[in-house]
Structure 1
């Protein structure tokens, strides 16, 4: 094998190694959809829906909703979609107009943890 072929082969092996090492980063359960949507304005929802890029462990995934006065909004039992990627969180009270914050944390089924915060505004019931 000529030295140029050896260099090219080495570069291909190194590139393949780097690509294989990058794959686990895609396994994190990132929030990719929410209802109400982040930074949206509208009527008060009866529940929240959080969609993730990977399946999550529902017992180790959580959401805290904070109201306009900093009060924590009581939520009901969380349900998980059949594919394990979408949570539905019922709200136990009617939301009053104001800005709400949703703080979430998720554990993907492969063990990776993620977390974040987003907000939405309620204009009327």
Structure 2
């Protein structure tokens, strides 16, 4: 058996595996602003960058205020916010419809890329 055909077959097999792995990659949260655990002034928007292009119609988030100073028994509250993609298809933006008051917030996100498998997660931050 000649080395060239064996090498060519090995190269084709390796390339097929790489392409297959990329086709089944799930989006991962790469970074967010504010970052997980940050204490910040009230942000006008929360941005999340993912490792894959998102399918906007299946991806989204909600913003929840999980505690309010002086109101320990208050249950988590949904915060009115619009969710959209930025200019980059790997970015999701959450824009509160009113300024955020001091307290602890949680962004509950759902990201779907071309593999159509939803991935979920949270980002927690505090507003001073």
Tell me which interval the TM-score lies in, with the shorter structure as reference length.
0.7 to 0.9
Deviation of the 1:110 alpha carbon: 2.9
**Partner residue in 2 for 1:59:** 57
In structure 2, what is the Cα distance between the partners aligned to 1:74 and 1:111? 27
TM-score scaled to structure 2, two decimals? 0.73
**Partner residue in 2 for 1:73:** 79
Deviation of the 1:41 alpha carbon: 0.4
TM-score scaled to structure 1, two decimals? 0.75
In structure 2, what is the Cα distance between the partners aligned to 1:95 and 1:89? 12
Question: What is the CA deviation profile of residues 44-78 of structure 1, one whole-angstrom value per residue up to 9, with x for unaligned ones?
Answer: 111111111000011111111110241000102x3
* 3-state SS in 1 of match to 2:61: strand
**Partner residue in 2 for 1:33:** 31
**Partner residue in 2 for 1:93:** 98
In structure 2, what is the Cα distance between the partners aligned to 1:50 and 1:117? 11
Deviation of the 1:87 alpha carbon: 1.5
**Partner residue in 1 for 2:120:** 115
Question: What is the CA deviation profile of residues 80-102 of structure 1, one whole-angstrom value per residue up to 9, with x for unaligned ones?
Answer: 23431011221012111111111
Ranges in structure 2 where 5+ consecutive residues have no aligned partner:
2-6, 68-73
Deviation of the 1:79 alpha carbon: 2.8
RMSD: 2.5
Ranges in structure 1 where 5+ consecutive residues have no aligned partner:
2-8
In structure 2, what is the Cα distance between the partners aligned to 1:82 and 1:64? 20
